[in-house]
């Protein structure tokens, strides 16, 4: 593969990784510890991910259990969850915090699927923007030591790469949408 194309493939791969992270944060009826990934806890003045200050487990299909290693962190973790966009009220018994996920309504599932599709569309736009940037940079190579045929080949390879990543986005969106709609 051409060195100039590698840069764009890396950017597209990062876009996919970002989409996977965003889709992982959308809860689909089942408890998924990934919903806590973006929530930071104030740990002695430093914003720290919950997973770094506590043991996070899923004892039941719709429950996440958070057991802080330092009992004094319970209040901070509870507060961080309450102020997040998770929309779930944490219960704590002094040593363990439990998050019980309610069953999703049909209406809420459809909203989540729309959200999943929106995130997928945004990822596809990002991938197409990367393709455009690549094509623009290839066009600037005209008149250099690279022939027009080589430039054309690079543009075709970039298009194939774009198509491959767009298919991956579509597949990820389809899988997540099915997961959300499954009761």
- The pLDDT value recorded for residue 125 is 94
Angstrom CA distances, 183 to 25, 62, 106, 167, 172, stand at 18, 12, 9, 26, 19
Mean pLDDT, the chain, rounded, equals 85
pLDDT at 171 over 70: yes
pLDDT at 1 over 60: no
Confidence bin at 128 (pLDDT 50/70/90): very high
What global pTM score does this model have? 0.68
Burial pattern 31-48, b for ≥16 Cβ within 10 A else e, equals bbbebbeebebebeeeeb
Overall average pLDDT of the 145-159 stretch: 87
- Residue 68 CA to residue 124 CA, distance in Å, equals 39
Overall average pLDDT of the 46-51 stretch: 86
Overall average pLDDT of the 153-161 stretch: 91
Q: Angle at Cα 120 formed by Cα 119 and Cα 125, nearest 5°? A: 95
Overall average pLDDT of the 155-172 stretch: 93
Cβ distance 22 to 112 under 8 Å? no
Domains and CATH numbers, the chain: 3-24+105-181 (1.10.132.20), 33-100 (3.30.1360.40)
């Amino acid at each position: 593969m051409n060195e100039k194309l590698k840069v764009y493939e890396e950017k597209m791969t990062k876009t996919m990784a970002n989409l996977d992270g965003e889709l992982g944060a959308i809860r689909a009826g089942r408890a998924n510890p990934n919903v806590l990934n973006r929530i930071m806890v104030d740990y002695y003045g430093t914003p720290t991910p919950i997973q770094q200050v506590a043991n996070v487990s899923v004892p039941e299909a719709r429950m996440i259990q958070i057991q802080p290693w330092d009992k004094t962190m319970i209040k901070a973790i509870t507060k961080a969850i309450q102020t997040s966009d998770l929309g779930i009220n944490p219960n704590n018994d002094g040593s363990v915090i439990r998050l019980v996920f309610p069953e999703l309504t049909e209406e809420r599932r459809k909203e989540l699927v729309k959200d999943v599709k929106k995130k997928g569309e945004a990822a596809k736009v990002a991938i197409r923007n990367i393709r455009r940037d690549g094509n623009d940079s290839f066009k600037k190579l005209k008149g250099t030591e690279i022939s027009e045929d080589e430039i054309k080949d690079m543009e075709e390879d970039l298009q194939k790469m774009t198509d491959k990543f767009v298919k991956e986005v579509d597949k990820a969106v389809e899988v997540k949408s099915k997961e959300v709609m499954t009761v």
